Amino acid sequence: MSTPLPEEAADTEGDPEHRRPSRRALSFVVGPLIAMVIASYVGDALTTTLATSHPAWLIALNARNRILILTTNELDAWTYYGIGSVRLLMSDPLFFILGMWYGDAGVEWMERRTHTWGQMLRQLQNWFGKAAYPLIFIAPNNPICLFAGAAGMPLRAFFAVNIAGTFARLWLIRRFGEAVENPIEDVLDFLREYRIPLLILSVALVLLSIALEAKRGETEVTALSRLEDEIDGEPSDGEPKD
């Protein structure tokens, strides 16, 4: 049984192994996740500018693999590993907590929001005890971290494997960046030369992607803000996202 956080409510209806959080406790988890989603949007929009002018700021906003590859040779090791690891690790324990709080209902919510991952998680459910550790080491993404919490993985083990996997990922990207340094520098030169038109294009593409998400039903921000209502049986009108 998961250990409840101090602000959790005592509601155990529907799942005796998990305790629902209070509204206040949930806001302390969902609020930072929403802030990180917004930061990722900003990072995507400003990638073509920040990659050459402020690469450390860029990975602080968004540490996707492609951005880490693009910026790794522009940063010293301390900055790259320090900022990169913090940014990658920030959301993982929060999704773990959501899984710990909501259990199977949280997995069902994730299944509706990210249909492809949801189906995969369902397939893994019967043997997650064997696959949990390598999965978290190799791909500690939001669904996997949520599922780890829902499955009752020990928190210390989760952190140990998650941190080790994150640093291994950063190390591999660093080595890859060194191996293809010249092509990366060519890309950065292109970004410097066409900074303004590329900035306009990247901002427009991010705004378009947000608009398309909204048209399909919900953005990531609204999905997180409605998390408790959807888990309690009030799903939005939108279709699940792939």
Give yes or no for residue 236 having a pLDDT over 60. no
- Per-residue pLDDT, averaged over 115-140, amounts to 70
Contact status, residue 191 vs residue 54, Cβ threshold 8 Å: no
Return the minimum-mean-pLDDT range out of 25-29, 121-125, 187-191.
121-125
Give yes or no for residue 235 having a pLDDT over 50. no
Contact status, residue 142 vs residue 94, Cβ threshold 8 Å: no
Distance CA 52, CA 63 (A): 15
Predicted pLDDT of residue 117:
57
- CA-atom Rg of the chain in angstroms: 19
Predicted pLDDT of residue 63:
94
Coil, helix or strand for 64? coil
Return the minimum-mean-pLDDT range out of 19-33, 140-154, 210-224.
210-224
Distance CA 153, CA 84 (A): 25
Q: Exposed (0-12), middle (13-18) or buried (19+): which is 192, by Cβ within 10 Å? A: middle
Coil, helix or strand for 200? helix
Give yes or no for residue 87 having a pLDDT over 90. yes
Band (18; pLDDT cuts 50, 70, 90): low
Name the β-bridge partners of 21.
Answer: 8
Looking at the whole model, is its pTM more than 0.85? no
Contact status, residue 113 vs residue 242, Cβ threshold 8 Å: no
- Per-residue pLDDT, averaged over 219-225, amounts to 81
Coil, helix or strand for 21? strand
Mean pLDDT across the chain: 83
Predicted pLDDT of residue 160:
95
- Per-residue pLDDT, averaged over 191-199, amounts to 94
